[in-house]
Copies of this chain bind each other. A is one copy, B any other.
Amino acid sequence: MATQYTPAQLRHAIRTGEHTTNTSGLCQGFVQCNVAILPKAWADEFLQFCQLNQKPCPVVAMAAQPGDTNLVEVAPDFDIRTDVPKYRIWKGGTLVDEVTDISSVWRDDLVTFLLGCSFSFEEALIADGLEVRNITQGKNVPMYDTNIACRAAGRFHGNTVVSMRPFKPADAIRMIQICSRFPSVHGAPIHFGDPAAIGIKDINQPEYGDAVTIKAGEVPVFTACGVTPQAAIMAAKPEFCITHSPGHMVVTDIPNSKLAIL
């Protein structure tokens, strides 16, 4: 898949089955989103959960009506049933299938949520000359369970999951400034320094993703992470739901700069 493809071209390649792998590094400059698709009977509480926990669960777009397959914010021709490279289908909190098209399981009561993703702010950090360690090391960002409780909404509850990127303190200060401009992709970090202060057991053993090197003089900086709503959904065990497979995101027509508030 040529990286110079436009988002529309990439979505077309995904829709036709030409592209089925992850979207990391593709269509740089455009917003990519996490996907959560829930039955209407669960969707209202999930939206409230996101509203109460905006740093880990920033809603970039949601379907106007249950059953809607297009979200105009993404693109005029977007179809949630075909335009994600890989989906995970869950029943009662258990993964039951991984597919490249959900047309055959689509239901009129399904509500689609697109949530912000760290790719957008990582691009802004790199553009500013900061090193993003997981990218330079070619790894998934390390993610950790914390003891920071989310505010519960109905059946949705859980602790905040954070991603971690190490920086020298002066670079961490700059990272905080840049990320503050992007509230819809997790915004400013929520902690830095001592991992134990937020209940992280072992910085070298992330619960999700890969460990990265923390060099002498660097501090770990922790940002609220989009795995938080996924974990809350798994814990709530809705009878049916669909998510993207990790790294296989919705690629939108929205320029990353549109998410910057300043």
Contacts and interface: CB of A to CB of B under 8 A. Distances in A.
Number of copies of this kind of chain in the complex: 2
Contacts of A219: 193
Nearest to A176: B176
A193 B219 CA distance: 9
Q: Chain A interface secondary structure, helix, strand, loop or mixed?
A: mixed
Contact of A170 (B173, B180, B191, B262): B191
A189 B217 contact: no
A164 interface: no
A63 to B, nearest CB: 33
A217 B197 CA distance: 8
A226 to B, nearest CB: 19
B169 A191 contact: yes
Query: Interface residues of A toward B: which range?
Result: 10 to 19
A173 B197 contact: no
B188 A169 contact: no
B217 A188 contact: no
Interface in A156-179: 169-170, 172-173, 176-177
B193 A173 contact: no
A190 interface: yes
Contacts of A217: 194, 197
24 contacts: A169-B191, A169-B193, A169-B194, A170-B190, A170-B191, A172-B192, A173-B176, A173-B188, A173-B189, A173-B190, A173-B191, A173-B192, A176-B176, A176-B177, A177-B177, A177-B180, A177-B188, A180-B180, A192-B192, A193-B193, A193-B219, A194-B217, A197-B217, A262-B262
Name the 10 nearest CB pairs between A and B, nearest first: A176-B176, A169-B192, A169-B191, A169-B193, A177-B180, A173-B188, A173-B176, A193-B219, A173-B189, A170-B191
